[in-house]
Structure 1
Amino acid sequence: MTDLVTYRLDEGVATLTLCNGKVNALSPAVIEALNAALDRAEQDRAIVVLTGQPGILSGGYDLKVMTSSPENAMALVASGSRLSRRMLAHPFPIVAACGGHAVAKGAFLLLSSDYRIGVEGPFSIGLNEVQIGMTMHHAGIELARDRLTKPAFQRSVINGEMFAPQAALQAGFLDQVVAPEQLEATAAAVVQQLKKLNMTAHRNTKLKARKALLETLDQAIDLDLKHFG
């Protein structure tokens, strides 16, 4: 793909690795590269593993872009929301292998994946938008509302609380927490289970189960753009 998102295909598994500096900032180019990687994974009919480097999945949107102008900020947020919507409807399973921190849009990548593995350690996972002066966008609110527990939704979206890995597991950001050295093996084991699925049934069931969420996200993205305009 590009040097921002590497693509490795091995026995029906496409590993997408974020490679954009020490916090894997999500810039317009990274979002574009992720979409291209998902295009390729779909063509390869591959289960997707999305990961970063040890210590971090992503710290969220590129702050240089977010602070450059309101127009650039809204365009980036909208493209990120469309990426989340796409991930939720992807025809093959997406496994997030989070090697540490996942902040703001980094945490939304977890909420957009079908199975999420985190690691033990002094890591923070969550939505810090209101901590840094950003009013949460409609699409983000709706995605968090669907995937987090009700108490965690309030604490996360409204209070900007960040969670340690085990607390993130309870909140709904993660499905499993393992030792860092077990992350790759655990992701491989999850993939082996997912390979047993009938992928047509998986896709059709995913779209049926998430129909209301996907429609809500479409409306929320339009509302975010309209509100900005």
Structure 2
Amino acid sequence: MNNLVHYSSEDNYAIITIKNGKVNAISHEVIAEINECLDKALEDEKVVILTGQPGILSGGYDLKVMTQSLDAAKELVSKGSELSHRLLSFPLPVIVACSGHAVAKGAFLLLSADYRLGIDGDFKIGLNEVMIGMTMHNAGIAIAKNKLTSVYLDRSVNNAEMYSPKDAVAAGFIDKTVPQEHLLPTAIKVAQMFGQLNLKAHAATKLKVRKEFLENLQLSIDLDKKEELSFSKK
């Protein structure tokens, strides 16, 4: 591991922390390390708390890769979609403690969790793909449809509207906001609550509830691999 993602095992939970530069960019290496951490959490049978650095969960995919070529961008987006699929079907509860801004793939991480906490403050949360000229990929649309409230879906996906943490609750990106100093303590309390669940029943029920969605998401990921990723210039 390149130590872009840190794993800390506690009582009944594990904290996975993304630490990759100023914007916590989601790169191939970050995705690989998150997957390694998820493997470890599964081995340890720990509820997962995924978080970022102070002020930011993630600003999205690594721009160095996204601007390298369309094929390079497509490969990274595909791996990111597969990570979302894994999080959404993960046998153990997944909590995202959003430590600030969550943009593009950062926001999709929120949409890929079982429970999402945000913090009060001047932070932006949302999907800016259309704003930067990227036609939203099929998997992204599927994930957004699954979590966002219907009145906010078009505003978020088609119009690239960004939200404050408070408005992100109404939109469906996060479940609850707390003061910054309460973020991890609250996430830990939620993890302890989830730890009281029968985790086998949780895993089986999650897959039943999300069966149709997960099948559609996999079809969308496969379709994205066949289609060209589209970027437009103004």
Shorter-chain TM band: over 0.9
Q: In the TM superposition, what whole-angstrom CA distance separates every residue of 1:167-209 from its partner, at most 9, and x where no partner exists?
A: 0001100011011111111111111111110000100000000
Give ranges in structure 1 of 5+ residues lacking alignment.
Answer: none
Name the SS of the counterpart of 2:107 in structure 1: helix
Name the SS of the counterpart of 2:113 in structure 1: coil
> Shift in Å at residue 2 of structure 1?
3.7
> Shift in Å at residue 12 of structure 1?
2.2
Name the SS of the counterpart of 1:61 in structure 2: coil
Match of 1:217 in 2: 217
> Shift in Å at residue 105 of structure 1?
0.3
Distance, in Å, in 1 between the alignment partners of 2:188 and 2:46 is 13
Name the SS of the counterpart of 1:15 in structure 2: strand
Amino acid of the residue matched to residue 117 of structure 2? I
Match of 1:199 in 2: 199
> Once superposed, what is the RMSD of the aligned Cα atoms?
0.9
Distance, in Å, in 2 between the alignment partners of 1:18 and 1:97 is 11
Distance, in Å, in 2 between the alignment partners of 1:2 and 1:12 is 26
Q: In the TM superposition, what whole-angstrom CA distance separates every residue of 1:101-138 from its partner, at most 9, and x where no partner exists?
A: 00000000000010000000000000000000100000
Name the SS of the counterpart of 1:24 in structure 2: coil
> Shift in Å at residue 53 of structure 1?
1.1
Match of 1:190 in 2: 190
Distance, in Å, in 2 between the alignment partners of 1:22 and 1:157 is 25
Moved over 3 A (4+): none
Identical aligned residues as a percent: 55
Name the SS of the counterpart of 2:170 in structure 1: helix
TM-score of the superposed pair, with normalisation by structure 2 = 0.96
Q: Decide whether the 8 Å contact of 2:12 with 2:191 is kept in 1.
A: no
TM-score of the superposed pair, with normalisation by structure 1 = 0.98
Question: Equivalent residues in 2 for 1:113-192 (5 A)?
Answer: 113-192=113-192
> Shift in Å at residue 11 of structure 1?
1.0
Q: Does 1:62 align with 2:54?
A: no
Distance, in Å, in 1 between the alignment partners of 2:83 and 2:60 is 13
Question: Equivalent residues in 2 for 1:54-93 (5 A)?
Answer: 54-93=54-93
